[in-house]
Chain A
Amino acid sequence: MTTENSLTKSDLIESLARSQQHLALKDVELAVKSLLESMSHELASGERIEIRGFGSFSLHFRPPRMGRNPKSGDAVALRGKFVPHFKPGKELRDRVNGDHTDD
């Protein structure tokens, strides 16, 4: 079941529990949480995730820049940082786009 046009973690756990009838709900819950934790951990260690047919996650570097304190207007030096980036794979791109083929 999805609520307001989105699938949440608990929706995902319920669907998986329905399709994996041999697993108890709490095991499905633990497995989903473990998978997400392993993905977060991988990125937090500076490494990539590559899921064929789904996409890849990597880190993009944002260089240091001068920012401003929005209240005082003072210039503040912001250090460079890494941010997570997702690139959808071909199967996901095509399916999301309703398989319209062009070029």
Chain B
Amino acid sequence: MHTDRVSVFARNGATVDTQRETGHGEKLMALTKAAMAEMLFNDLGLNKREAKEFVEQFFEEVRLALESGNDVKLSGFGNFVLRNKSARPGRNPKTGEDIPISARRVVTFRPGQKLKARVEAYAGSQQQ
């Protein structure tokens, strides 16, 4: 079965269509905002508009905190941590041209113990 679909909306290498196939033929569907809103609608009884708005605002609150210089600590899941990177020499990999990379602030994610343990349990169930 060939369901290796690439959306016509995909731009700049970003695949909008999240359905894809692994080498082993099973289909995977990534969790998206739409699926999360659907869950709030089904499980918690928010109406569709409320559910969509809630999911959007949930991520917006995290972005706002990070944007204003605050780390975000979600116990049981993980921490979003801001890091300041100093300027460093860089290079355009295509042309080989030297281009300095300016100092910047970046966000990193440090998964919590509980999430790491759950994900490792998945690894344990896969034979490598």
- Taking a contact as CB atoms under 8 Å apart, the answer to whether B54 and A50 are in contact is no
- Count residues of chain A with CB under 8 A from any CB of chain B: 61
Give B18-58 as 1s and 0s: 1 = Cβ < 8 Å from A's Cβ atoms.
10000000001111110110011001101000100111011
- Taking a contact as CB atoms under 8 Å apart, the answer to whether B58 and A16 are in contact is yes
Judge if B105 is at the interface, Cβ distance under 8 Å.
Answer: yes
Judge if B6 is at the interface, Cβ distance under 8 Å.
Answer: no
Q: In the complex, which residues 33-73 of chain A have their Cβ closer than 8 Å to any Cβ of chain B?
A: 34-36, 38-40, 42-54, 56-57, 59, 61, 64
- Taking a contact as CB atoms under 8 Å apart, the answer to whether B73 and A53 are in contact is no
User: Separation in Å of the A31 CB from the closest CB of chain B?
Assistant: 6
- Taking a contact as CB atoms under 8 Å apart, the answer to whether B104 and A16 are in contact is no
The answer for the CA separation of A54 and B55 in the assembled complex, in Å, is: 12
- Taking a contact as CB atoms under 8 Å apart, the answer to whether A22 and B70 are in contact is no
Q: Is the interface of A mostly helix, strand, loop or mixed?
A: mixed
- Count residues of chain B with CB under 8 A from any CB of chain A: 61
- Taking a contact as CB atoms under 8 Å apart, the answer to whether B126 and A7 are in contact is no
- Taking a contact as CB atoms under 8 Å apart, the answer to whether A44 and B122 are in contact is yes
- Taking a contact as CB atoms under 8 Å apart, the answer to whether A40 and B76 are in contact is yes
The answer for the CA separation of A88 and B98 in the assembled complex, in Å, is: 25
- Taking a contact as CB atoms under 8 Å apart, the answer to whether B57 and A19 are in contact is yes
- Taking a contact as CB atoms under 8 Å apart, the answer to whether B66 and A84 are in contact is no
The answer for the CA separation of A16 and B107 in the assembled complex, in Å, is: 22
Give chain A residues whose Cβ lies under 8 Å from the Cβ of B55: 35
- Taking a contact as CB atoms under 8 Å apart, the answer to whether B63 and A50 are in contact is no
The answer for the CA separation of A19 and B79 in the assembled complex, in Å, is: 23
Given contacts A9-B74, A34-B43, A95-B67, 6 further A-B contacts (CB under 8 A): A12-B74, A40-B118, A51-B33, A82-B119, A91-B63, A100-B104
